[in-house]
């Protein structure tokens, strides 16, 4: 697909291409002479004690580089990359992947489904009923039909549930495969850096890693080269302190994380043969899913438990009523002089029928279809979200995102396009702009207008002080240059390319920077606490030069000099520093440019990279987090200031506007400087007009209001306890002492947090989760007056992150989003959802689908509970009046099948509408069954029960058919078939009504956009027609089905439920308006009153509504003069409760 531009090209490539796996090594060895897999595994197993000795024995004292040669690789150029070679290594040493845990087979899922208690009872009763009916039944020729129909119903229910689980497990497997494809690492092959997935790494590969973007180690290896490499091995050893990796401790273990430095290692063990892989395989079969119930599941479980209790009570009542009225009462009814009836004459066979009816009532009452509906909704949503660049790792994150009230978003790559380019450079006292010359690129301007010495120094600084993992990639098909690695560094490297320099050649020709001389250099890799990166390399004339790049305000503060246009260093005073900030940095930031400063320092006294002078820390100067700065990174000479543009994604402003309408607050949390962050926030709509105030001194003529935009250090000082000198106070654990009360005074206003650290993200997520501002009515009212609305429940936080240090914040947030393109492996492991396109607009998609999950479950719940109410009510009435349910057990199971399976499929696959984002987030503490849902359920249940009771008690007379309870029980009646058919058709039509939850009048809106719903509805209707007309005794339907007249009644009853829903919606609308009017009337007296007044200046009438400090005081106690206040001014400032009487003061 593309050709990687080498981060460093070796002058010669002595390796030979493999031929039949011969001569694969640099030293001419073939694969038969390579070290064996067991030798390499033993090397890693003995790493703590005899590892170095084994390595020396294996290589003859040649170390890691010799081992690379023995494995047919090269420390400098890596493997050849030939497909045959890579496949052969997988055969010899294994693949860097694990045999996937096979999902359950279909038969295993069927077995699991058969463990349902209700289904077991039905099967047992059917098994008992079949031989009993065959032996004792009145009509033995048809005795098999109903038990067989029960078996068939259970068979269908079990298989539908199993099929759904089968598809769901395969979807999870597909999602896991896609997630693995997003795990990218960088290896060196053919002397070039190449991006590969974890599974493509083989033994012999040279793996590049760093603490910034490639921190997770996917295999075991031996360190080839590195600088200040420290690895967190706590997950493996429990040791909390990072372990340094050097030539004396070179062994790097899979599953650990690089927390400092960068380097390269030789891969020696992969997959199940690595250290962590062997542990994983040892416990593989004991792994269990840790499924913590989400808020939605908690609510649904509560509903299921309550409904089960009601259903169990109804089933027991039905059974006892039928036994009492059908067996006990007839036995004693004849008691008298001639004695009682003989108990032997009682038809005890009815007990089985009664028990079967009671259990079927319980089966219908229990909404066991809810878990199926939830799983369907979540699986469907996650599948659709995948198509819209949201890879969902935890399904409950879909639902949680529907309750999100706050999104804390990164700027770079999320709000912006992450396609950076250098648009302006300030060097030698002159600003060069890409927009200033339409005929020449910015790079050409610098080469042609700057002295050659200055231009070369600029290019050299950039090439040296960038990571190996940042490189340019040329697409061979289009010739376009793509970025790999850090986008900011790639933008600088692209500028170097425009200037005509080869960054790979400059790196290779620089001692201390090339791979061969890496030990002579000393990198200080970028860290969030320092906000800068440096690289020390030896100078030809002796001593060392430290090249630095970093945040403009931090680097400028450490500069003592600045290069002029002639290349001479001139002193940099405090006044000139301030002038640079005002005339260069702020205008750059005002254009939404990221400002990066480039500087250097010569250290003539340093003799080697291991000199203590390079590691010395400053006594007074500190980093952004308060830690001591390196002396080598102070006393710098400023070379240039660059303005790097990262254009705003065009879809972001619209997405943020949709969030605002949806009641979701969007906050920007970025490491960029405050002015740049504010400019971007204004452009995308995070800072709205009400968040700004006029400021003539500012270049834009306006600035954010207090607390709307803060820098990290200011934010930390506001929300933590501080000492008198301004330093942060520490708690017992040595962490800054967080003050929730102070945080609650800040976060409602906060829109932009700039120059933030990963710890600030964690503080923000933790504080928002624990905030109880919503419970403080006074503060909520004060915020409302300032145009700030606080959600009336705890904040549900969504957080984005891409770096390794963002992982704790992603874990702490309710929903963590990791970047699929720019994110590190550790961030992806910690998150709930991976944004495959790193785009903020995709987060809004997740919010919409999350709300849709909640809505879909509510729709299904509304539908199922309506059917439950009607079915159970009919069963209770039938058991009391006729000692049988008018709807047979097999028919109830048919209704149960419609409810649990087909309806859940239809209602759980409803696509989201844009109206979902016009509502506030779902309140986690409120009931899932809303007032409108109760109106819909009870109203529809009342209608359906009225129709079915009419048919039950008057249907025989109306349709001129035999009464169902007078017909021989062995023969299904037309009467009860009409009742069953009318009930099902009303249920089907109500399925259309249940698509709407807020009392919408157009229940058909959007119905054609859901093919699943239409297909299920029509399919169910066809099945119902077949069941009634041809089901016969198997489904307890009349032989020959129903007549046209009877069908018209049933269809009419079903369709009228649509009309009835309109009446319910009208009632709901009127009741809401009446309630709203009552609330307004009730509140009105408490908001103020009106007075008439007379004074020397005139008479008048004044109305007032606001509260004020004079509340509760009598006007007669106030003292004022005519010159201090006019009467209208005074009265408008005074609040009361209702009309007040005012006595005129003597001065009026």
Contact 222, 246 (CB under 8 A): no
| C-alpha dihedral sign at 996, 1002, 1003, 1005 | negative
Integer Cα distance of 56 and 38 in angstroms: 16
DSSP classification of residue 665: E
Integer Cα distance of 925 and 346 in angstroms: 54
Identified catalytic residue from 165, 232, 257, 410: 410
Q: Which residues of 3-40 are buried (b: 16+ CB within 10 A; e: fewer)?
A: ebbbbbbbeeeebeebeebebbbbeebebeebbebeeb
Pairing mode of beta strands 251-252, 220-232: antiparallel
Integer Cα distance of 1138 and 101 in angstroms: 72
Distances from the Cα of 730 to the Cα of 370, 733, 748, 842, angstroms = 49, 8, 25, 39
Q: Which residues contact 837 (CB under 8 A, 6 or more apart)?
A: 389, 820, 821
DSSP classification of residue 804: G
φ/ψ (deg, to 5) at 860: -65, -40
Take residue 1139 and report the two structure tokens written for it. 């009309």
Pairing mode of beta strands 833-835, 815-819: parallel
DSSP letters, 865-929, are HHHHHHHHHHHHHHHHHTSS-SS-HHHHHHHHHIIIIIIHHHHHTPPP-GGGGGSPPPPTTS-SS
410 given a catalytic annotation = yes
The 10 Å Cβ neighbour count of residue 961 is 20
Distances from the Cα of 140 to the Cα of 129, 133, 145, 146, 1040, angstroms = 12, 7, 10, 12, 21
- What is the maximal distance between C-alpha atoms in the chain? 133
DSSP classification of residue 581: I
The 10 Å Cβ neighbour count of residue 689 is 10
H or E stretch covering 684: helix 674-684
What number of residues does the chain have? 1148
Integer Cα distance of 165 and 158 in angstroms: 11
Between vectors from CA 149 to CA 145 and to CA 150, what angle results, nearest 5°?
120
**DSSP 3-state of 104:** coil
In angstroms and rounded to an integer, the radius of gyration of the C-alpha atoms of the chain is: 38
CB-count burial class (<10 Å; 0-12, 13-18, 19+) for 762 = buried
Instruction: Give the residue from 915, 913, 909, 916 showing the smallest Cα distance to 1010.
Output: 909
φ/ψ (deg, to 5) at 122: -65, -40
Between vectors from CA 490 to CA 489 and to CA 492, what angle results, nearest 5°?
65
- Angle, helices 145-181 vs 106-113, to 10°: value is 130
DSSP classification of residue 246: B
Integer Cα distance of 544 and 772 in angstroms: 55
Instruction: Give the residue from 528, 595, 601 showing the smallest Cα distance to 559.
Output: 601
φ/ψ (deg, to 5) at 638: -75, 125
Integer Cα distance of 714 and 1010 in angstroms: 51
Pairing mode of beta strands 833-835, 251-252: unpaired
Active site residues: 410
């Amino acid at each position: 697909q593309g050709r990687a531009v080498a981060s460093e090209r070796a002058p010669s490539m002595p390796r030979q291409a493999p031929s039949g796996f011969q001569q694969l090594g640099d030293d001419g060895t073939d694969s038969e002479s390579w070290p064996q897999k067991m030798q390499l595994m033993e090397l890693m197993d003995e790493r703590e004690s005899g590892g170095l000795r084994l390595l020396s024995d294996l290589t003859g004292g040649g170390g890691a580089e010799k081992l690379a040669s023995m494995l047919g690789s090269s420390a400098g150029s890596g493997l050849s990359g030939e497909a045959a070679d890579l496949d052969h290594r997988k055969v010899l040493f294994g693949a860097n992947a694990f045999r996937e845990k096979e999902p359950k087979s279909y038969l295993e899922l069927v077995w699991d489904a058969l463990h349902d208690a209700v289904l077991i009872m039905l099967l047992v009763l059917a098994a008992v009923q079949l031989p009993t009916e065959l032996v004792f039944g009145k009509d033995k020729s048809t005795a098999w039909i109903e038990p067989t129909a029960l078996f068939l119903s259970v068979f269908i229910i079990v298989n539908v549930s199993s099929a759904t689980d089968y598809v769901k497990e395969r979807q999870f497997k597909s999602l896991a495969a896609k997630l693995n494809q997003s795990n990218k690492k960088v290896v060196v092959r053919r002397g070039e850096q190449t991006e590969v997935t974890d599974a493509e790494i083989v033994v012999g590969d040279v793996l590049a890693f760093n603490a910034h973007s490639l921190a997770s180690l996917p295999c075991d290896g031996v360190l080839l080269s590195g600088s200040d490499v420290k690895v967190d091995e706590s997950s493996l050893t429990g040791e909390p302190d990072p372990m340094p990796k050097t030539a004396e401790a070179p062994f790097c273990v899979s599953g650990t994380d690089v927390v400092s430095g960068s380097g390269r290692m030789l891969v020696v063990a992969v997959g199940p043969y690595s250290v962590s892989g062997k542990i994983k395989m040892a416990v593989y079969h004991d792994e269990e899913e840790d499924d913590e119930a989400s808020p939605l599941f908690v609510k649904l479980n509560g509903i299921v438990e309550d409904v089960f209790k009601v259903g169990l009570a109804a089933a027991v009542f039905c059974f006892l009523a039928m036994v009492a009225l059908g067996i006990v009462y007839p036995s004693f009814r004849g008691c008298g002089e001639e004695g009682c009836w003989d108990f032997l004459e009682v038809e005890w066979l009815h007990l089985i029928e009664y028990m079967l009816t009671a259990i079927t009532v319980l089966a219908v009452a229990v909404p066991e279809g809810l878990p199926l509906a939830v799983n369907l909704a979540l699986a469907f949503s996650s599948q659709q979200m995948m198509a819209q660049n949201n890879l969902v790792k935890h399904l409950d994150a879909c639902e949680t995102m529907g309750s999100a009230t706050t999104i804390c978003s990164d700027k770079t790559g999320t709000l912006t396009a992450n396609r950076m380019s250098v648009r302006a450079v300030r060097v030698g006292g002159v600003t060069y702009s890409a927009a200033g010359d339409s005929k020449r690129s910015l790079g050409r301007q610098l080469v042609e207008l700057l002295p050659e010495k200055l231009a070369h120094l600029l290019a050299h600084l950039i090439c040296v002080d960038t990571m190996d993992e940042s490189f340019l990639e040329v697409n061979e098909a289009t010739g376009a240059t793509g970025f790999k690695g850090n986008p900011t560094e790639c933008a600088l490297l692209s500028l170097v390319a425009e200037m005509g320099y080869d960054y790979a050649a400059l790196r290779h020709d620089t001692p201390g920077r090339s791979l061969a001389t890496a030990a002579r250099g000393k990198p200080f890799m970028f860290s969030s606490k320092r906000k800068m990166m440096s690289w020390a390399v030896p100078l030809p004339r002796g001593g060392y030069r430290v090249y630095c790049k970093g945040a403009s305000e931090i680097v400028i503060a450490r500069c003592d000099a600045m290069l002029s246009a002639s290349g001479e260093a001139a002193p940099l005073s405090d006044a000139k520093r301030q002038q640079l900030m005002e005339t260069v940095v702020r205008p750059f930031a005002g254009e939404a440019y990221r400002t990066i400063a480039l500087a250097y320092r010569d250290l003539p006294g340093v003799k080697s990279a291991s000199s203590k002078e390079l590691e010395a820390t400053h006594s007074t100067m500190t980093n952004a987090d308060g830690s001591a700065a390196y002396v080598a990174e102070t006393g710098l000479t400023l070379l240039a200031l660059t303005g790097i543009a990262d254009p705003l994604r065009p879809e972001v402003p619209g997405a943020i506007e949709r969030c605002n309408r949806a009641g979701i607050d969007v906050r920007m949390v970025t490491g960029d400087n405050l002015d740049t962050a504010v400019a971007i926030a204004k452009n995308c709509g995070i800072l709205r007009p009400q968040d700004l105030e006029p400021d003539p001194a500012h270049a834009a003529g306006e600035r954010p209001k207090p607390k709307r935009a803060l820098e990290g250090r200011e934010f930390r000082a506001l929300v933590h306890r501080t000492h008198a000198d301004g330093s942060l106070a520490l708690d017992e654990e040595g962490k800054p002492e967080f003050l929730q009360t102070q945080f609650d005074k800040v976060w409602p206003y906060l829109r932009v947090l700039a120059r933030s650290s990963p710890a600030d993200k964690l503080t923000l997520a933790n504080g928002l989760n624990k905030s109880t501002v919503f419970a403080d009515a006074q503060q909520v009212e004060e915020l409302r007056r300032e145009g700030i609305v606080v959600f009336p429940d705890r904040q549900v936080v969504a957080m984005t992150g891409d770096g390794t240090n963002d992982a704790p914040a992603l874990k702490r947030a309710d929903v963590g989003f990791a970047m699929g393109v720019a994110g590190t492996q550790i961030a992806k492991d910690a998150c709930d959802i991976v944004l495959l396109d790193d785009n903020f607009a995709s987060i809004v998609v997740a919010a919409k689908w999350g709300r849709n999950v909640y809505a879909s479950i509510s729709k299904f719940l509304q539908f199922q509970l309506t059917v439950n109410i009607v079915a159970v009510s009919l069963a209770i009435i039938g058991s009391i009046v006729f000692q049988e349910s008018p709807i047979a057990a097999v028919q109830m199971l048919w209704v149960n099948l419609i409810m649990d399976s087909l309806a859940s499929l239809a209602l759980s696959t409803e696509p989201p509408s844009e109206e979902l984002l016009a509502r506030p987030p779902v309140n986690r503490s409120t009931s899932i069954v809303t007032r409108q849902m109760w109106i819909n359920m009870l109203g529809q249940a009342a209608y359906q029960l009225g129709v079915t009771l009419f048919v039950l008690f008057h249907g025989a007379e109306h349709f001129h058919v035999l009464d169902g309870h007078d017909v021989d029980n062995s023969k299904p009646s037309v009467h009860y078939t009409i009742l069953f058919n009318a009930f099902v058709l009303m249920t089907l039509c109500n399925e259309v009504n249940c698509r709407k939850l807020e009392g919408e009048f157009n229940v058909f809106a959007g119905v054609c956009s859901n093919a699943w719903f239409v297909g299920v509805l029509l399919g169910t209707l066809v099945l119902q027609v077949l069941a009634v007309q041809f089901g016969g005794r198997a489904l307890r339907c009349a032989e020959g089905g129903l007549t046209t007249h009877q069908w018209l009644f049933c269809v009419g009853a079903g369709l009228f439920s649509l009309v009835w829903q309109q009446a319910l919606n009208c009632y709901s609308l009127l009741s809401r308006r009446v309630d709203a009017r009552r609330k307004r009337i009730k509140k009105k007296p408490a908001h103020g009153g009106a007075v008439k007044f007379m004074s020397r200046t005139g008479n008048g009438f004044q109305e007032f509504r606001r509260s004020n400090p004079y509340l509760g005081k009598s006007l007669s106690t106030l003292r004022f003069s005519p010159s201090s206040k006019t009467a209208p001014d005074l009265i408008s400032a005074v609040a009361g409760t209702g009309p007040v009487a005012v006595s005129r003061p003597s001065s009026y």
